[in-house]
């Protein structure tokens, strides 16, 4: 495993200097889920939440905003010029959850994994916020990087 790049030789935190790196097309895909009661999932799918009929669209916008603002909340992340974000929701009635996927893309000097992971997290938190009046037992889980491409380290694909 390589050394931690966000610390210098004296152990002080730092933002990694990417000045000398070349721009490359970089993409990342992150996933996670929010588990809820079957009744809550039905209400969500049917657009019957008191805070809004289309919770998924509010969560989609929240995810896109989170991707764009990641450097404002994760201290060592670089501000990035995001060129694309796609957000997908897949209700799973059998397991009473909603799978969330965020794909993010840019052409730049540093990766976009943190942005995709932040997007998934904020989408799940937004769904929680909009559904908590009927279900405070919801669980957000398994947020993880599924794939990343571009840059010096090349392609990563999670093997599950």
Q: Which of the four pLDDT bands, split at 50, 70 and 90, describes residue 2?
A: low
pTM, two decimal places: 0.91
What was the pLDDT predicted at 49? 83
* 24-149 CATH, one of 3.30.310.10, 3.40.50.1220, 1.10.30.50, 3.30.70.640: 3.30.70.640
Average pLDDT over residues 18-47: 93
Given 42, 86, 129, 135, which residue is catalytic? 129
What was the pLDDT predicted at 1? 41
Cβ-Cβ contacts under 8 Å for 17 (sequence gap 6 or more):
none
Identify the weakest region by mean pLDDT among 2-16, 17-31, 59-73.
Answer: 2-16
For the chain, give the mean pLDDT: 92
Please say if 129 is a catalytic residue.
Answer: yes
Q: What is the 3-state secondary structure (H, E, C) of the chain?
A: CCCCCCECCCCCECCCCCCCCCCEEEEEEEEEEEECCHHHHHHHHHCCECCECCHHHHHHHHHHHHHHHHHHHCCCCCCCCEEEEEEEEEEECCCCEEEEEEEEEEEECCCCHHHHHHHHHHHHHHHHHHHCCCCCCCEEEEEEEEEEECCCCCCEECCC
What was the pLDDT predicted at 69? 97
What was the pLDDT predicted at 4? 58
pLDDT at 41 > cutoff 90: yes
Domain-by-domain residue ranges, the chain?
24-149
């Amino acid at each position: 495993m390589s050394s931690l790049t966000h610390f210098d030789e004296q152990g002080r935190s730092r933002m990694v200097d990417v000045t000398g790196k070349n721009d490359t097309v970089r993409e990342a895909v992150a996933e996670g889920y929010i588990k809820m009661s079957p009744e809550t999932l039905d209400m969500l799918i049917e657009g019957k939440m008191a805070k809004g009929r289309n919770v998924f669209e509010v969560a989609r916008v929240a995810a896109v905003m989170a991707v764009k603002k990641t450097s404002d909340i994760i201290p060592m992340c670089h501000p990035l010029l995001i060129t694309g974000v796609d957000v997908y929701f897949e209700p799973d009635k059998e397991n009473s959850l909603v799978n969330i996927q965020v794909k993010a893309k840019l052409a730049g000097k540093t990766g976009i994994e943190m942005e995709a992971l932040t997007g998934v997290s904020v989408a799940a938190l937004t769904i929680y916020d909009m559904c908590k009046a009927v279900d405070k037992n919801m669980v957000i889980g398994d947020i993880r990087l599924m794939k990343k491409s571009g840059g010096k380290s090349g392609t990563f694909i999670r093997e599950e």
